[in-house]
Structure 1
Amino acid sequence: MADHLENLDPISSYAALGDSFTEGLNDPNPDGSFAGWADRLAGMLAQGRPEGTFRYANLAVRGRLLDQVVAEQVPQVRLARPDLVTFCAGGNDILRPGSDPDEVAERFEQAVLQLRECTRTVLICTGFDTKNVPVLRHLRGKIATYNVHLRAIADRNDCAVADLWSLRALQGRPAWSEDRLHLSSEGHQRVALLAARALGLPTLDDPAAPWPAESVHTPAEQRRENLQWARDYLIPWVGRRLRGESSGDHVEAKRPELLPL
């Protein structure tokens, strides 16, 4: 991967594209809205700049599939032409039964080619390692295959990469909210630090720092916790997909224009 440090100084505008991961679900602001790793990264990039000189847009919407991200969000970026774009999409496609990570990756690269025409730097994220997540652990092979494609796409198109798969801190329970599908505030902060480092931005905190020791559950306690999680979160999530519904229905982007941060 190319060294993106040389591109850091001129960055005065940033647009984030994607789904719930980039929208920032389960990282609440005091006003009830969501922050998330992309908002946190924007804050890091804006530090030290004169007030009002750094502009930021977050176009991500929960539940969006790759083609929806490309159709709804990429054209806005092509018009705005920010210095930096983070493009994290395809995860919802990979989770769907019958999806082909090879085919999803082909569509992802076509979108990357469009973005490279209108921005100086594109950063993409690999998928999470789901080996410790009930049910989703069975999709680990598909996610790994998709990640291999993403790294190759980044190499071919000179993109920065935030490697979520290799960040072991994200395998710890403190990184995840109660639904185990979205990051906690602490998890979003780790991803923001990882993305900053992928761009060459120095950070005082280490995204890979170990978590404080967690309490150890007995196998019986773990089974009860998994059953409760399945009732509260997994079954409703599966039900929405069977009905063709999305958590993002009737949801709009929280920050649709490049505005001063």
Structure 2
Amino acid sequence: MSGFRIGQGSADVSYVALGDSFTEGLGDPHPDSGSLPQGRYRGWADRLAEHLADHAAEVRYADLAVRGRLIRQIVDEQVPRAVELRPDPVTVCAGGNDIIRPGGDPDQVARIFGHAVARLRGTGAHVVVLTGVDTGFQPVMRHLRGKIATYTMHLRGIADAHGCSVIDLWNLRFFQDRRAWNRDRLHPSPEGHRRLALKACEVLGVPVEGRWDEPWPLEAPLAWRAARQADLHWAREFLVPWIGRRLTGRSSGDGLGPKRPNLERLR
């Protein structure tokens, strides 16, 4: 496995994040989002870069992720740019938008993902692969669990074959709590993003304060009626618009570019 370890006062770090809305940071509004273009989000990748900056002499960071991107778009638009930037490390979270669509084939998506990882590893970069999340706890998304599990097993095999690290989202139990998710039930909440960044630090060997697996405070479960009302609100506000975009061939990322297209110094 390729190695990436960071210590106090270590050499400069160039970090690039690839993916879709999960990596762009949706669900975690940036503290200064009101003054930034595109409703700037923070997210786990930004938080990881900030942790890296606590230990490296200098961190240069690019986040090429764009909401709504499919695997081929990520491979065509983001991977060549990452290869050009020659970063170390690189995180890759991709394919989720393909898998949740009707007819999405996890075997085919994984093949495309594997080619992308091989190209990134060819630069000598340490590549970190993020798996799918176990959706068994979500009533509406539960039917996708088998496809996501299949894709996740492919991703673990790809990571093993190419010497990549893995952030195993499938087995992160904190994601089984509704407080880890934004109201749209597709993107982590600020707390979910914070915990995921801590897990990424653990995988990369970055010292941090706090635990990603800290138990959630006890909370009374929603009453049946309140839970159903929440489901109806979610369907009206998020599910129906998502279906509408699918039917019309639109994407939430149409017309948008990456929030950090270049390696820029952090802090």
| Bin for the TM-score computed over the shorter chain | over 0.9
Change (3 A) 1:136 1:222: same
Cα pair 1:85 1:119 within 8 Å, conserved:
no
Q: Distance in 2 between matches of 1:153 and 1:7?
A: 24
Find the partner of 1:178 among 170, 176, 183: 183
Whole-Å separation in 2 of the counterparts to 1:227 and 1:4: 47
Report what 1:37 is aligned to: 44
**Identity across the alignment (%):** 55
Equivalent residue number for residue 113 of structure 1 = 118
Aligned pairs for 1:9-28 (under 5 A) are 9-10=10-11, 12-28=13-29
Measure, in 2, the Cα distance between the counterparts of 1:111 and 1:63: 18
Does structure 1 conserve the Cα–Cα contact (< 8 Å) formed by 2:6 and 2:206? no
By how many angstroms is 1:7 displaced? 6.8
Which residue does 2:161 correspond to in 1?
Answer: 156
Counterpart residue number, 2:37: none
Give, as a single letter, the amino acid of the residue that structure 2 aligns with 1:208: D
Q: Give the unaligned 5+ runs of structure 2.
A: 34-39
Question: How far apart are the structure 2 equivalents of 1:113 and 1:11?
Answer: 24
Deviates more, 1:125-134 or 1:246-255: 125-134
**1:135 is the counterpart of 2:140:** yes
Gaps (5+ residues) in structure 1? none
Q: Tell me if the contact between 1:134 and 1:226 (Cα under 8 Å) persists in the aligned partners.
A: no
Work out whether 1:89 is the aligned partner of 2:60: no
* TM value normalised by structure 2: 0.92
Instruction: Indicate the SS of the match to 1:73.
Output: helix
SS at match of 1:165: helix
Q: Deviations over 1:154-186 (max 9, x none)?
A: 100000101111011011111111111111110
Of stretches 129-138 and 181-190 in structure 1, the one that deviates more from structure 2 is: 129-138
What residue identity is the alignment partner of 1:256? P
Cα distance in 2 for partners of 1:233, 1:181 equals 10
Equivalenced residues, count: 258
Deviating runs (4+, > 6 A) in structure 1? none
Kept in 1, the 8 Å contact 2:24–2:63? The answer is: yes
Inter-partner Cα distance in structure 2 for 1:216 and 1:98: 35
**2:93 touches 2:129 (CA, 8 Å); kept in 1?**
yes
Superposition deviation, residue 117 in structure 1: 1.1
Mark the CA change 1:37 to 1:166 in structure 2 (over 3 Å): closer, same or farther: same
**How far apart in 2 are the matches of 1:251 and 1:148?**
31
Contact 1:123 1:159 in 2 (8 A): yes
**Conservation of the 8 A alpha-carbon contact between 2:48 and 2:201:** yes
- TM-score after normalising by structure 1: 0.94
Q: Counterpart of 1:232?
A: 237
Q: Which amino acid aligns with 2:142?
A: R
